Chains A and B, each alone.
Chain A
Amino acid sequence: EDQVTQSPEALRLQEGESSSLNCSYTVSGLRGLFWYRQDPGKGPEFLFTLYSAGEEKEKERLKATLTKKESFLHITAPKPEDSATYLCAVQAHDYKLSFGAGTTVTVRA
């Protein structure tokens, strides 16, 4: 059974204080690892897909990396608008997604 564990559950940052979120996974035949952002009361919004170990992708202050067992979402010099819940999901051979519980990030000005 596919398993995705995200840590920490919650992260409080000062504006400009860089940090990283972790997503560890066990899956049989990884087809892709996805990062989503979710704002309160809204649906998840796609950020990145990573396909193989060593791959990195960036978008503004966010950078996602992937190893064979985990992925990291690095937030560089965060701003209050980066406050959200960040979800990690893995896609296996049957093309369904298995989600982690998420990390809620709060950035204070």
Chain B
Amino acid sequence: NAGVTQTPKFQVLKTGQSMTLQCAQDMNHNSMYWYRQDPGMGLRLIYYSASEGTTDKGEVPNGYNVSRLNKREFSLRLESAAPSQTSVYFCASRGTQSYNEQFFGPGTRLTVL
């Protein structure tokens, strides 16, 4: 039982390049989330998926797109990376009970030059 896994762990992009961050969970959770973490600002929600087939915007969605590929996988795409997207990205999942805690992956550290 690996929990929540993310790939890659590190990535360096040039401004304007695109890439997809991958996330998978093996806990049979319905809900999945993408956050970014910047120094002094805490975790901010980018997009989330309450269940397979649905996605919704979070607090900071501009410049990102997501795909809930199936119940296990939720990807985050940067179509044209900008230096302001330099951050650490975390994926999380949550069980079916209303008050279940979110379980986080190890993160992807992204630098955009």
B90 contacts A101, C-beta separation under 8 Å: no
Taking CB atoms, residues of chain A closer than 8 Å to B92 are 43
* Size of interface on B: residues with Cβ below 8 Å to A: 24
Q: Which residues of B contact A101 (CB under 8 A)?
A: 40-42
A82-109, CB < 8 A from B: 87, 89, 91, 95-97, 99-102
- Binary flags per residue of B38-50, CB closer than 8 Å to A gives 1, else 0: 0011111100101
Q: Which residues of B contact A49 (CB under 8 A)?
A: 99, 101
Stretch at the interface among B14-22, B60-68, B102-110: B102-110
Q: How large is the interface on A (under 10, 10 to 19, 20 to 34, 35 or more residues)?
A: 20 to 34
Q: Using a Cβ cutoff of 8 Å, how many contacts connect chains A and B?
A: 52
A28 to chain B, nearest CB (A): 16
- Determine if B98 is an interface residue (Cβ-Cβ < 8 Å): yes
| Cross-chain contact B105 with A43 (CB below 8 angstroms) | yes
17 pairs, CB–CB < 8 Å, chain A vs chain B: A4-B42, A32-B99, A34-B102, A36-B104, A41-B107, A42-B106, A43-B4, A43-B107, A44-B104, A45-B104, A89-B43, A95-B94, A95-B98, A96-B45, A97-B33, A97-B45, A97-B102
B residues apposed to A, CB below 8 Å: 4, 31, 33, 40-45, 48, 50, 58, 90, 92, 94, 98-99, 101-107
Which residues of A are at the interface with B, using a C-beta cutoff of 8 A? 4, 9, 31-32, 34, 36, 41-46, 49, 51, 87, 89, 91, 95-97, 99-102
